[in-house]
C-alpha cells in the first residue's frame, strides 16, 4: 500500500494556526466524527472540516484517518492531539485565573477533579456548597491528574478532588470518601446476569480504558489483582473521553472499569456490576488537596463543609 507523502510543516504554521484549529481537532477526536464535533461546537460541518484540513496542512502530518463512519486519530495525530489538549487546558486556566481576579470581590472557588459529576459524593458536596453560599461563583474543571496538579501549583485552581493524594511540598490533603470499582457491560453480556463479578471472571474479555484519568489507575489496579499476564483480559487504551468508551461498550466492542459515581450517567444499554476479590469490593479512596498558602475564604468554607460531611482531619503539609 502506497503511503501518503508527508510534507514539511509550514514555516508560517505558528502564525496561521490558532485555538480554533486545536479545539476543532480535539472535538473531532472526542466525538469520533466531524459532524458530531460541528454539533458540539455549534459550527457548520464544512467549515469545521476545512479548519481541520488547514491544521493538517500547516503541520504537515495527517491527524485523522477518514472513513464512512467518521474519523480516528492517526499515530502522529494522537501525539498532536495530546499536546493540543494541554495547550487548551493551559489557556482555559489562564482565563479562569483572570476571572478569579475579576470576581474576587464576590468570592470564587475553583475545583478540579477527574471523576464523574453525574452522581455521588462530589456532586452532593458541590450542590450543598452552592446552597449554603449562592453568592460564591463556583468553577469546576475536569482534566488529567497531571494537568490538575500543575493548575493547583500555579494557583489556577483552589482545590483538587483526586484519588489518593498529591505528595507535594506546601500542599495539604484531607481524606474524603471511597468509591467501589465496577465493571461496565453491555446489557446482553453473559456477566450481566451475575450480581457480583470477580476479577478472574474478566479473563478472555477486552477491557476498554481511556487515556484520561482514572484510566491509568484502573489499569494498575487490574494488573495488581491479576498478576499473571495469562489471567488478564486484553486491554485496549483509547485516546477518547469516558463518554466515548461507554458508546464503544454499547457497540459490544468490549467492557470497561469505572468508579461508582459513573452509575449516575444511567445509560439504558449498559449495566454495572461490582468487582470483588477474596477480601471484598475493590475501592478507590478520594482526597481533597489544596495549597497551604491559599487564603481564599471560599476555599476555607468548602473545606469546613467537607470536614463536616466526612469527619476527616487534614493531613500532610
Which one, of 101, 274, 250, lies nearest residue 185 by Cα? 250
State the architecture of 178-283 in CATH terms.
Answer: 3-Layer(aba) Sandwich (3.40)
Query: What cell was used for 293?
Result: 498558602
Rounded Cα–Cα distance for residues 240 and 212 (Å): 7
Residues 213-272: pLDDT tens digits? 677 888 889 999 998 988 899 999 888 777 788 889 989 999 999 988 877 655 678 999
Query: What cell was used for 47?
Result: 467549515
The residue extents of the domains of the chain are: 13-85, 90-177+285-315, 178-283
Distance in angstroms between the alpha carbons of the first and the last residue of the chain: 58
Residue-level pLDDT at 246: 85
- CATH (one of 3.40.50.1000, 1.10.510.10, 3.40.640.10, 3.40.190.10) for 90-177+285-315: 3.40.190.10
pTM: 0.62
- Looking at residue 303, what DSSP letter applies? H
- Looking at residue 287, what DSSP letter applies? E
Whether 114 and 162 have beta carbons less than 8 Å apart is answered as yes
Residues 30-87: pLDDT tens digits? 899 999 999 989 899 999 999 999 999 999 999 999 988 789 999 999 999 998 988 8
Whether residue 208 has pLDDT greater than 60 = yes
Amino acid at each position: 500500500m502506497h503511503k501518503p507523502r508527508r510534507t514539511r510543516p509550514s514555516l508560517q504554521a505558528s502564525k496561521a494556526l490558532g485555538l480554533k484549529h486545536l479545539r476543532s481537532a480535539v472535538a473531532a477526536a472526542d466525538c469520533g466524527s466531524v459532524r458530531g464535533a460541528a454539533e458540539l461546537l455549534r459550527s457548520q460541518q464544512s467549515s469545521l472540516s476545512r479548519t481541520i484540513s488547514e491544521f493538517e496542512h500547516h503541520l504537515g502530518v495527517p491527524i485523522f484517518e477518514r472513513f464512512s463512519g467518521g474519523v480516528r486519530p492517526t499515530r502522529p495525530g494522537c501525539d498532536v492531539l495530546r499536546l493540543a489538549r494541554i495547550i487548551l487546558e493551559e489557556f482555559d486556566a489562564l482565563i479562569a485565573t483572570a476571572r478569579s481576579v475579576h470576581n474576587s470581590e464576590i468570592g470564587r472557588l475553583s475545583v478540579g477533579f477527574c471523576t464523574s459529576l453525574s452522581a455521588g459524593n462530589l456532586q452532593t458536596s458541590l450542590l450543598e456548597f452552592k446552597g449554603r453560599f449562592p453568592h460564591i461563583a463556583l468553577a469546576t474543571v475536569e482534566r488529567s491528574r497531571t494537568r490538575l496538579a500543575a493548575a493547583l501549583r500555579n494557583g489556577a485552581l483552589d482545590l483538587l478532588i483526586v484519588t489518593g493524594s498529591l505528595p507535594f511540598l506546601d500542599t495539604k490533603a484531607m481524606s474524603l470518601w471511597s468509591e467501589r470499582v465496577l465493571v461496565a457491560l453491555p446489557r446482553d453480556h453473559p456477566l450481566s446476569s451475575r450480581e457480583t463479578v470477580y476479577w478472574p471472571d474478566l479473563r478472555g474479555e477486552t477491557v476498554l480504558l481511556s487515556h484520561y484519568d482514572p484510566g491509568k489507575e484502573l489499569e494498575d489496579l487490574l494488573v495488581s489483582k491479576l498478576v499473571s499476564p495469562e489471567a488478564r483480559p486484553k486491554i485496549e487504551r483509547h485516546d477518547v473521553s469516558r463518554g466515548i468508551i461507554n458508546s464503544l461498550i454499547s457497540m459490544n466492542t468490549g467492557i470497561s472499569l469505572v468508579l461508582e459515581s459513573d452509575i449516575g450517567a444511567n445509560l439504558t444499554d449498559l449495566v454495572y456490576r461490582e468487582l470483588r476479590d477474596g477480601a471484598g469490593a475493590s475501592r478507590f479512596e478520594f482526597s481533597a488537596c489544596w495549597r497551604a498558602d491559599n487564603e481564599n475564604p471560599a476555599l476555607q468554607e468548602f473545606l469546613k463543609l467537607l470536614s463536616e460531611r466526612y469527619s476527616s482531619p487534614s493531613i500532610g503539609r
